Structure 1
Amino acid sequence: MRATRSTRAARHLAGAAVLASGLLIGACTTLGPDYEEPDIAWLNEWQTNLYGQAVGPGQQRDLDLQFWWHAFNDPVLNSLVDTARKENPSLRIAGLRIMESRAVLGIASANLYPQLQQLKGSATYIDSRSSGGAGPDVHDNYGAYSDGFDLAWELDFWGRFRRGIESAEAGFFASVTNQQDVQVLLAAQVADLYFAYRTTLLRIDIARKNTAIQKRSLEITEQLFSSGQESELDLQQAKAQYLGTLATIPDLEGQLVRVRNALAAVLGRKPGDVPELDMVARPLPIVDGAVLRELPANLLLRRRDLRTAAWQVAAQSAQIGIAKADYFPAITLLGSVGWSTTSLGGSPQVRSIAAGPAITWNILDYGRIASNVRLQDARLQQTIELFQSTALLAAREMDDAAITVVKTAEQKAPLGGAARAAERSLELANSQYQEGYADFERVLDAQRVMFTQTERELLNNSAHISAVITLYKAAGGGWTEMPAQELLPEATRDTMKTRTNWGGLLEAPLPARPEGPASDSDNGNPK
């Protein structure tokens, strides 16, 4: 009968606790500001076509901005970018940060449930002896046993835990957009290094070609000097020019190795291990400009670094509500069930049940809570300023790249003409020198000019390609939404599973972004 009454009492207490918690949760509020994406005041006034680079869909060929490097029509480049997206260490780290933030979100979500769910128990053997007194000797030995279950559930009365989930969720989505931004930077980095390598190869070719020309001139002047037909001045000038040009080749060859090593590191390989570069074509591709069929303002809003900055604002905004919750009492539902007994004959079995609310309230905090709220607000304003700064830098990057594309394109014709004129000038100078109508100084000058103009033409073409790459990067192109199983290589996932039970999170689909800022409610990827 006693056990039955205890059971009934427990049921009544549990029912009362559930009813009380329901009433309390129904009366819950959420402290702190709700997130609003910062407004970019100047964006509506930024009406630009990026100097002709952003045009209507019917005015240029179709190109998927996700894979903008296909515009170069280079299989080697395509292969290198694909490899980097699979093997690059920085991209793997960004993928691991997604898994990290996913775990943080799981921790925050668990706070909505009873925070303490504790089983406890003990078994004790006691041996007691007493002797030598006025009374009889006593020897007792027995066992004492107890077990119990304690529960404590702090209700989210002021929205502390909901704000914590909001902050962790924003942090998770920030890690996703950050990984996508790494994809953008990675594609541009691979393309830049690839064309830098090809440019350096061509610079070496130019230097060797000019060295061969100047060596031939040196041999002629040596013969003439030996026969007494030329002065030593011509000989020494020819030698100085030849050796000076020859000295540029080792430096360029060193640059070539460094660029190759940099590309190998991006691909996650040991230095020099880029056999794909052995198949590169010598001439640089002819690229008129970028292909952008979105308004620059829309492209800017979809940039992954700006989306990351926006989610960071959201994550910090929720921290103010968490800090403000400390102003108010923490209301906790407590429950405990216990049982204890001993092995002594006639010892009773003790059962206990306890339940009820508890309240804790830091009423004398000496300004700590207020200071913490101010701290979180200052950090929020910092993230807002970072968002605004990111937007300004993004617009500047787009504008700078676009004008560079235009101006390097304008330089192509005159620099090409200058290079061809320099080649013809050298031919004429050689003819006139051989015929005795010009001195050797004219030949040396023509050689210098040809070397300079040919390299200037090449470097301008390289700068134009680099500007096109930068503009595609600035427009936010080069990322895709990767499923969870593609964020990390299979070998890495297997290693992590061996160490830790991930419960399928390494392959589980990533949560969809909630409907939030208009610029991030769709797939966010410009076409």
Structure 2
Amino acid sequence: MAEIVSATAKPLARRCASLLVAFSVSACTVVGPNYVRPASDIAPDWQSSSMVPVPKQTGDMAQWWKHFNDPVLNGLIDEALRKNHSAKIAALRVMEARAQLEIAGSNLYPQLQQATGSALYAARRPSGGVTSSQWNYSAGVNIGWELDFWGRFQRGIEAADANYLASLDSYDDAQILLVTQTATIYAAIRTLESRLNIVHGNADIQRRSLEITEHLFKSGNESELDLQQAKTQYLSTVASIPALEASLRTTQNALAVILARPPGPLPEMASGVGVIPQANLLMVADLPADLLRRRPDVRTAEMQLMAQSALIGVAQADLYPSLTLLGSLGVSAASISGSPTTAALSAGPSFTWNIFDYGRIRNNVRVQDARFQELAELYQDSVLQAAGEVDNAAVSYAKSLEQVSLLDQGEVAAKRALAIANIQYREGMADFERVLDAQRALFSQQERVVTNRGDVVGNLIAVYKAMGGAWQVARPEPFLDDATKKTMKERTNWGDLLDVPLPATDADPMTRK
């Protein structure tokens, strides 16, 4: 056996050296287009003109919600990032893409790996003779390795890598959506609470007017008309309370779902009831055009485009012949005394070329190219849509800010008008209709003030969402909780894939790996 191995060692070494040379050559031959980022329809220096007159302050945009200085909001967002089911689904899709990337990478190694073995026992007993037995043993290994001459496997790895990056971008996008939804719903709850406070306050004012007119009517100093008008206005105001309370509960339930909690009011929101969070827009260091390209949904569109570019190369590689190195090593022996132990080694190339499938393969290349162009258009559309969102959110925020001082002045004037109307009514200088008008005007103005304050917060949150803020905060954190990782490891051998942290995200998707 030793002589056989020695005799075959040198040819095997030569074959291995030839294999390494062929592999080196194959690594330099990659068919298909190399990805080039398409020119954007948005100019590099584009920025929304609506953001220029908006007051700004400096700060960390990655955690913009902390500038509201609301500990309750901060705690709710932290909880949402940890517990929300949609965020966990996005994280699990990252793990799926990681495993797919490992599969693609395995194609660079021998694809056929097969071990065989057998044992045969035979016994014979001649008539009247002694029983004789015999064992035969054999074992072998078959290996097949397709060389990546045309870069099909390398392009497959590029596509899997781009899909992995796209899954990371989708994960980032889920973080943005989660943070902005939590902040938006929180602000909506506070706005509804403030509106309820206003309704109750105006109902108290109108109830006192009703009590006065009722007393005057019973004493014969006032007509029934004033009483019924006061009663109508009071009951109309009180009747709006149930609808607001229903809206409040519905909004609270929406926030509970995001936090993966049972429906109902949140205990931590019992403090600060009706206080709408306020903050100014943070100073943006980068140009909005750069921020657009860093938005996770835009990055996802580009990574999908990059993956499709690689798939064109995968399809084109089928136009060329493939070379597979096949080899087998076998050993056989028998238990009969004096029988030889033999070893066999064979190796050689296998040449495959789908010449008669040329039309099908060529059209498959065209299919992949058409899909690439479709995704290129989708990428351009995503950039334009993102720019539109930024401008819409910026102009809404700027215009809602313009209303703040005007509405505040209007509320002050409405309060003063009601006070004057009450004085003139008591002194007999005005009828009760003036009081009712003043009460309605105050109620309406206070409603507008509160609604406007809620709009300012909502539009500010929309600006941050449009500019892609908040995704950076999730990357350093564990993207799967310990309980989920433990369950998955007990079910399947994941190795260390579940423990590898997410890669840091660079500003340019072309440099991220």
Q: Which moved more, 1:45-54 or 1:234-243?
A: 45-54
Counterpart AA for 1:16: R
In the TM superposition, residue 81 of structure 1 has moved relative to its aligned partner by: 1.7
Change in CA separation of 1:512 and 1:223 when aligned onto 2, cut-off 3 Å: closer
TM-score normalized by the length of structure 2: 0.90
Matched position secondary structure for 1:327: coil
Please tell me whether the aligned partners of residues 276 and 454 of structure 2 are also in contact (alpha carbons under 8 angstroms).
yes
Q: Following the alignment from structure 2 to structure 1, what is the Cα–Cα distance between the partners of residues 97 and 146?
A: 24
Please tell me whether the aligned partners of residues 136 and 334 of structure 2 are also in contact (alpha carbons under 8 angstroms).
yes
Q: Following the alignment from structure 1 to structure 2, what is the Cα–Cα distance between the partners of residues 43 and 130?
A: 96
In the TM superposition, residue 333 of structure 1 has moved relative to its aligned partner by: 0.3
1:187 aligns with: 179
What aligned pairs does 1:397-476 form with structure 2 within 5 A after superposition?
A: 397-476=389-468
Change in CA separation of 1:191 and 1:129 when aligned onto 2, cut-off 3 Å: farther
Q: Which moved more, 1:149-158 or 1:402-411?
A: 402-411
Please tell me whether the aligned partners of residues 180 and 481 of structure 1 are also in contact (alpha carbons under 8 angstroms).
no
What are the ranges of 5 or more consecutive residues in structure 1 without an aligned counterpart? Answer: none
1:15 aligns with: 14
The alignment covers a number of residue pairs equal to 512
Matched position secondary structure for 1:503: coil
Q: Following the alignment from structure 2 to structure 1, what is the Cα–Cα distance between the partners of residues 313 and 500?
A: 31
Q: Which of 468, 475, 479 is 1:487 aligned to?
A: 479
Q: Following the alignment from structure 2 to structure 1, what is the Cα–Cα distance between the partners of residues 34 and 73?
A: 46
In the TM superposition, residue 509 of structure 1 has moved relative to its aligned partner by: 4.0
1:519 aligns with: 508
Matched position secondary structure for 2:285: coil
Q: Equivalent pairs: percent with the same residue?
A: 48
1:384 aligns with: 376
Q: Following the alignment from structure 1 to structure 2, what is the Cα–Cα distance between the partners of residues 115 and 53?
A: 63
Q: Following the alignment from structure 1 to structure 2, what is the Cα–Cα distance between the partners of residues 265 and 33?
A: 46
1:40 aligns with: 40
Please tell me whether the aligned partners of residues 257 and 272 of structure 1 are also in contact (alpha carbons under 8 angstroms).
yes
Q: Following the alignment from structure 2 to structure 1, what is the Cα–Cα distance between the partners of residues 156 and 512?
A: 26
In the TM superposition, residue 484 of structure 1 has moved relative to its aligned partner by: 7.2
2:102 aligns with: 106
Change in CA separation of 1:272 and 1:18 when aligned onto 2, cut-off 3 Å: farther
Matched position secondary structure for 1:486: coil
What aligned pairs does 1:340-419 form with structure 2 within 5 A after superposition?
A: 340-341=332-333, 349-365=341-357, 367-419=359-411
2:283 aligns with: 291
Q: Deviations over 1:318-372 (max 9, x none)?
A: 0110111111122100001123456677766553221100022222227321232
Q: Following the alignment from structure 1 to structure 2, what is the Cα–Cα distance between the partners of residues 485 and 204?
A: 39
Q: Which moved more, 1:344-353 or 1:427-436?
A: 344-353
Matched position secondary structure for 2:248: helix
Matched position secondary structure for 1:156: coil
In the TM superposition, residue 214 of structure 1 has moved relative to its aligned partner by: 2.0
What are the ranges of 5 or more consecutive residues in structure 2 without an aligned counterpart? Answer: none
In the TM superposition, residue 217 of structure 1 has moved relative to its aligned partner by: 2.6
Matched position secondary structure for 1:505: coil
Please tell me whether the aligned partners of residues 408 and 463 of structure 1 are also in contact (alpha carbons under 8 angstroms).
yes
Please tell me whether the aligned partners of residues 475 and 503 of structure 2 are also in contact (alpha carbons under 8 angstroms).
no
What aligned pairs does 1:28-427 form with structure 2 within 5 A after superposition?
A: 28-44=28-44, 46-52=46-52, 61-124=57-120, 144-272=136-264, 274-280=266-272, 282-341=274-333, 349-365=341-357, 367-427=359-419
Please tell me whether the aligned partners of residues 50 and 296 of structure 1 are also in contact (alpha carbons under 8 angstroms).
no
Cα RMSD (Å): 3.1
Q: Deviations over 1:105-152 (max 9, x none)?
A: 111111101111221223355689999xxxx9xx99865543210100
Please tell me whether the aligned partners of residues 62 and 473 of structure 2 are also in contact (alpha carbons under 8 angstroms).
no
Counterpart AA for 1:436: G
Q: Following the alignment from structure 1 to structure 2, what is the Cα–Cα distance between the partners of residues 292 and 523?
A: 23
Please tell me whether the aligned partners of residues 108 and 165 of structure 1 are also in contact (alpha carbons under 8 angstroms).
yes
Please tell me whether the aligned partners of residues 49 and 296 of structure 1 are also in contact (alpha carbons under 8 angstroms).
no
In the TM superposition, residue 281 of structure 1 has moved relative to its aligned partner by: 5.0
Q: Following the alignment from structure 2 to structure 1, what is the Cα–Cα distance between the partners of residues 123 and 357?
A: 49
Change in CA separation of 1:465 and 1:493 when aligned onto 2, cut-off 3 Å: same
Q: Following the alignment from structure 2 to structure 1, what is the Cα–Cα distance between the partners of residues 394 and 317?
A: 49
Q: Following the alignment from structure 1 to structure 2, what is the Cα–Cα distance between the partners of residues 53 and 393?
A: 23
TM-score normalized by the length of structure 1: 0.88
Change in CA separation of 1:169 and 1:350 when aligned onto 2, cut-off 3 Å: same
Change in CA separation of 1:293 and 1:510 when aligned onto 2, cut-off 3 Å: closer
Please tell me whether the aligned partners of residues 32 and 313 of structure 2 are also in contact (alpha carbons under 8 angstroms).
yes
Please tell me whether the aligned partners of residues 33 and 309 of structure 2 are also in contact (alpha carbons under 8 angstroms).
yes
Please tell me whether the aligned partners of residues 45 and 287 of structure 2 are also in contact (alpha carbons under 8 angstroms).
no
Q: Deviations over 1:45-80 (max 9, x none)?
A: 62545432689xxxx543011111122112222222
Q: Following the alignment from structure 1 to structure 2, what is the Cα–Cα distance between the partners of residues 93 and 357?
A: 45
Q: Which moved more, 1:261-270 or 1:6-15?
A: 6-15
In the TM superposition, residue 434 of structure 1 has moved relative to its aligned partner by: 3.0
Change in CA separation of 1:303 and 1:511 when aligned onto 2, cut-off 3 Å: closer
Change in CA separation of 1:85 and 1:17 when aligned onto 2, cut-off 3 Å: same
Q: Following the alignment from structure 1 to structure 2, what is the Cα–Cα distance between the partners of residues 62 and 326?
A: 55
Change in CA separation of 1:53 and 1:66 when aligned onto 2, cut-off 3 Å: farther
Matched position secondary structure for 2:119: strand
Q: Deviations over 1:453-512 (max 9, x none)?
A: 100011011101111111122222212265676111122112222222222222224456
Matched position secondary structure for 2:355: coil
Q: Which moved more, 1:373-382 or 1:148-157?
A: 373-382
1:496 aligns with: 488
Counterpart AA for 2:347: A
Counterpart AA for 1:416: D
Matched position secondary structure for 2:116: strand
Matched position secondary structure for 1:487: coil
Please tell me whether the aligned partners of residues 25 and 157 of structure 1 are also in contact (alpha carbons under 8 angstroms).
no
